[in-house]
Amino acid sequence: MNLVSSELAMKNKRLWVGFTLVKGIGSVRLQSLLNYFGDIESAWKASPLDMVAAGISAKLAERVIQVRNSVDLDDYMARIEKDQIRILTWEDTDYPANLKEIDQSPPVLYLRGEVTAEDSWAVAIVGTRAVTSYGRQVTEELATVLAHSGVTIVSGLARGVDAIAHSTALKAGGRTLAVLGSGVDKIYPPEHRPMAEKIALHGAVISDYAPGTAPDSANFPPRNRIISGLSMAVVVVEAGDTSGALITAGFAANQGREVFSVPGMLYAPKSKGTNRLISNGARVLLNPNDVLEALDLTRNVEHREIRRTVPSDATETALLAALASEPVHVDEIRARLGLPIEKISAALTMMELKGMVRQIGGMNYVAIREDQADYRAGID
């Protein structure tokens, strides 16, 4: 990616953000615009008549024009950058792979922290806000075992089961992702702001709602599809008849994810939802190892070690030699090695999956192997 293409990518990202500011433009309608116009810039600049021809209503077309004329996207992006909020779109190679494969994946994600290749091994733990001592014990044990096995814990930062799952993962030294029903700068509930700051250091706080969006009851059910979409499986610990955790389980089933449910006493209010999930076909969770075995995550630590092997070809060898502990931008890597950007990007993606390199944002990479000097010496 040269300077011109890098500037174009940033310009396009502004336009992706612009569409998230239009109420009513989600993944389906934005995909219709992209299919019709071919690219994000053409869609953003289209006339209302052309937008209607692309399949959106006249009312939505008017909203696009209103945002286009009233919002200074350069200023908006500057404020996002100042607040250290990252933006990922469908076009970005580091958009979470698990999430991208679901129907109606969010076109734009806002996050504090980062999602890494390691987070592909993720399990969501969700449940009631009014957690019982039984639910707390199960959540703590489950999150601890999963975190120690290298599994990322995903939840919604809500009171109760969600908060226990996040905090336990952090205590266990694991990674955790929190998905919000508000902007990432509008933490809810407010008492979880300190926890959100810790999560951003050991995972990410994520939302598809634009910064500045206040928490709203209507926002939380749709965000649950992201919780399940980021995960290989969803575990419902405790849930009443109307718990939002049941919505997450429904999304998970539709997305082809495994759904586990913790059984409870027959007449316990907080176990009515989980018991019903079991009767409807969810897997019974009797032991944290049930999740690990069902998803073959018992070998996750082994898998991670295997990925940290010697470079598999000359390109990986050259890339590892070009990287150090300090961030290096992909443009600089290309300039050093003289390789096509497509080849570099593909190799870096594979190396990140292997755990050999890490992207720290803005297409900057670092090597994470302690024995990098050995590889450097091998090609000098």
Q: What CATH number has the domain bearing residue 363? A: 1.10.10.10
Q: Is residue 105 part of a domain?
A: no
Q: Is residue 60 part of a domain?
A: yes
Q: What pLDDT, on the 0 to 100 scale, is given for residue 310?
A: 56
| Domain C-terminal end among 279, 298, 317 | 298
Q: 149 and 217: one domain?
A: yes
Measured CA to CA, the distance from residue 153 to residue 175 in angstroms comes to: 6
Amino acid symbol at 229: G
Burial of 12 (0-12, 13-18, 19+ CB in 10 A): middle
Which tokens in the block code for residue 201? 């250091």
Give mean pLDDT in consecutive 10-residue pieces for the chain, a chain of 380 residues: 49 89 91 94 94 93 94 91 92 89 92 91 93 94 93 95 96 96 94 96 95 90 94 92 88 92 87 89 91 76 54 78 80 86 82 78 73 39
Count of domains for the chain: 3
Q: Is residue 93 part of a domain?
A: no
Asked whether 210 and 100 are in contact (CB, 8 A), the reply is no
- CA 62 to chain centroid, in Å, comes to 31
Q: 135 and 66: one domain?
A: no
User: Is the peptide bond preceding residue 189 cis, with omega within 30 degrees of 0?
Assistant: yes
> What residue numbers bound the domain in which 367 lies?
308-379
Q: What pLDDT, on the 0 to 100 scale, is given for residue 146?
A: 94
